[in-house]
Amino acid sequence: MEPKAHHVIIGCFTLAAVTAALLFALWLGKSSADREWAYYQIGFDHPVSGLAKGNLVLYSGIQVGDVLELKLAQDNPAHVRVLVRVEQDIPVRENTKAGLVLANITGSMSIQFTGGTPQSPALQGDRDNPPLIVAEPSALNNLMNNGEAMLAQAEQLLTNMNRLLATDNIDNVSALIQNARDASESLLANREALIALMDQFNAAAVRAEEAAIKVSGVSDRTRTVLNDRIVPVLNAMEAAISTLQPSLERVDTITANNEHSLNAGLQGLSQLGPALRELKSTLRNLNSFTRRLEHDPAGTLWGGSTIKEFEQ
């Protein structure tokens, strides 16, 4: 009788547990059915790997609903439309943003709403005609979508590193390092000569600076001389030329108007040459007669002996 009594107790406990589970399920279903929901459609223009029916819908990290349906867009199969339901009292507005977030380490994804200002109008979520909210790609989504390209680039990088670390290249790098070491040791051995050379460079730089200062001083003095002396002379010459310009223009005009008279005058001047020569000879003879008259008036006037003069 004792084993039968244990079986009866176990059976009664199992029946009570099943009944409690059914009652809890009925209560949970009734509470879920009695809850009021708002429905929205989230549009994705990129893959939604890890998102499935029943996944959570979050608003700023707090669960507010779940995913009801996933399907491809009829006009573009590259886009995905996800139907979600959110508690009616959650304020989803026109400027509310939606995106994917990682739910756990297994790769499961959730939809999260963020943003939404009180001044923005609220969206009315209807099951038959849910408003569309375009999702923004997240950094994690971009990382997952570009993971294949990143792996290819990483593989290419590893290949290049293997080529770089080949035996021949390692020998060349070792030779370069050895040459650099020898060069550094040579520099250290000639450190005093290098220091003396640097001192000479510094002295040359000082002399160059002094020469530059002197050149700058000469340039300043030259500029002063030009401004104080040359510029006034040039200005005076420019003023004189400006003054002579009208006179030259008048002379040019007079010359043009009296061209025939000037030509005749020039011809007359050409005839004056012989007359001037005769006049000069006459003056010479008159001068000689005057001197003879001074020395011998009587002989000169009465035809006496002639005294010859010799020029010294």
Same domain, 170 and 234: no
CA–CA separation, 248 and 206 (whole Å): 59
72 Cβ neighbours under 8 A, 6+ residues apart = 79, 80, 81
Residue 49 is assigned to a structural domain of this protein: yes
pLDDT of residue 232: 79
Same domain, 198 and 125: no
pTM of the full predicted structure? 0.41
Domain end among 257, 275, 294: 257
Same domain, 238 and 287: no
User: How many CB atoms are located within 10 Å of the residue 215 CB?
Assistant: 10
Instruction: Decide which of 255 and 121 is more confident.
Output: 121
Q: What angle do CA 283, 288, 291 make, to 5 degrees?
A: 125
Q: What mean pLDDT is predicted for residues 37-57?
A: 89
Model pLDDT for residues 91-107, shown as the tens digit of each residue: 888 899 998 888 887 77
Residues of the domain holding 113: 35-138
Model pLDDT for residues 189-234, shown as the tens digit of each residue: 887 887 888 888 888 888 888 888 888 888 888 788 777 777 777 7
Residue 271 is assigned to a structural domain of this protein: yes
CA–CA separation, 169 and 266 (whole Å): 101
Question: DSSP secondary structure string, 102-114?
Answer: E-STT--EEEEEE
Same domain, 52 and 96: yes
Instruction: Decide which of 171 and 121 is more confident.
Output: 121
Same domain, 158 and 247: no
Confidence bin at 296 (pLDDT 50/70/90): low
Are 45 and 78 in contact by the 8 Å Cβ rule? The answer is yes
Token output for 193 = 């000569």
Q: Is 8 helix (H, G, I), strand (E, B) or coil?
A: helix
Q: Residue 78: left (phi > 0), alpha (psi -120 to 50), or beta?
A: alpha
Same domain, 232 and 178: no
Q: What mean pLDDT is predicted for residues 40-69?
A: 90
Residue 28 is assigned to a structural domain of this protein: no
Same domain, 214 and 268: no
Same domain, 72 and 117: yes
How much of the chain is in helix, strand and coil states, percent to nearest 5? Answer: 60, 15, 25
Residue 4 is assigned to a structural domain of this protein: no
Is residue 280 predicted with pLDDT exceeding 70?
A: yes
Q: What mean pLDDT is predicted for residues 1-8?
A: 57
Same domain, 56 and 112: yes
If one counts the domains in the chain, the total is 4
Of all helices (H) and strands (E), which one includes residue 306? none
CA–CA separation, 44 and 70 (whole Å): 11
Residue 25 is assigned to a structural domain of this protein: no
Q: What mean pLDDT is predicted for residues 242-254?
A: 75
Residue 100 is assigned to a structural domain of this protein: yes
CA–CA separation, 100 and 79 (whole Å): 15
